[in-house]
Structure 1
Amino acid sequence: MAQTIETTEAPAAVGAYSQATETGDLVFTAGQIPATPDGELLDDAPVAEQTEQALDNVEAVLGKAGLAMSDVLKVTVFLDDIDDFEEMNEVYSGYFDDEPPARSAVSVNELPKGIGVEIEAIASR
């Protein structure tokens, strides 16, 4: 049976979703956007700063579940402009050790609230 995970260390879910769900040994985060835990949206910030905030949010949600970034198996990165890939990747690589998880990075037409990046992860105990 799935359980929801919520923390005040990441932006609150503002729709019909949870920050993360857990079933068995797996934790699935919702897409984390570049918003601070108090809700400040960093939509006008450079993609590097947006990526850092989104990954900080992923890390906070996983932390609530007792997990770390080293427990991540798969990450999906959504970019509203694929030309931002290198800038995102430079920040992203600092969050994982020398054995990073599998990752997909896709360019999408538009992301919520005019943001440049959204990141979701799957982790395991």
Structure 2
Amino acid sequence: MPRTIISTADAPNSPMYSQAVRAGSQVFVSGTVGIDPSTGALAGESIGDQTKPALTNCRTILEAAGASLDDVTEVGILLTDPNDFTGLNEEYARWFPTDPPTRYVAKLGVDLPGLLVSIRMTAYVG
């Protein structure tokens, strides 16, 4: 099955990984953080400040792949501080208010200054 690299200038990127890869009917979005792509800076210092733009960046990448949040089947979330779980859920519930995809939340294993959350997604676009 061929794979297609998905890239958009409207979301953070890195030469170390693809923003997303589409393989057949699946789109795999890399771990995406709450960076403002126009400035390259983290969007804020609170979990809410960073969760909303991380989800916005994921949505932007999905759209570049021809998918939407309605197509998401799995979300993986890494938190720097597990105590941010409640704040994460407050913002997350606004994005998936009904029939949410499967999800896991774990502790982020690397220490990146100021980074509070990283979100990855898998979507089915068959």
Q: Same fold (TM over 0.5)?
A: yes
What's 1:8 paired with? Answer: 9
CA distance in 2, matches of 1:27, 1:8: 18
Do the aligned partners of 2:43 and 2:49 also contact (CA within 8 Å) in 1?
no
Classify the secondary structure of the residue corresponding to 2:121: strand
CA distance in 2, matches of 1:66, 1:109: 31
Do the aligned partners of 2:52 and 2:91 also contact (CA within 8 Å) in 1?
yes
What's 1:79 paired with? Answer: 79
User: Kindly, what percent of the aligned residue pairs are identical?
Assistant: 32
Do the aligned partners of 1:33 and 1:119 also contact (CA within 8 Å) in 2?
yes
* TM-score, reference length from structure 1: 0.92
Classify the secondary structure of the residue corresponding to 2:86: helix
* TM-score, reference length from structure 2: 0.91
Deviation at 1:91, TM superposition (A): 0.2
Letter in 1 for 2:91: V
The structure with the largest strand share of the pair is 2
- 5+ residue gaps, structure 2, are none
Out of 112-121 and 99-108, give the one that drifted further: 112-121
Do the aligned partners of 1:43 and 1:113 also contact (CA within 8 Å) in 2?
no
Tell me the C-alpha RMSD between the 2 structures: 1.5
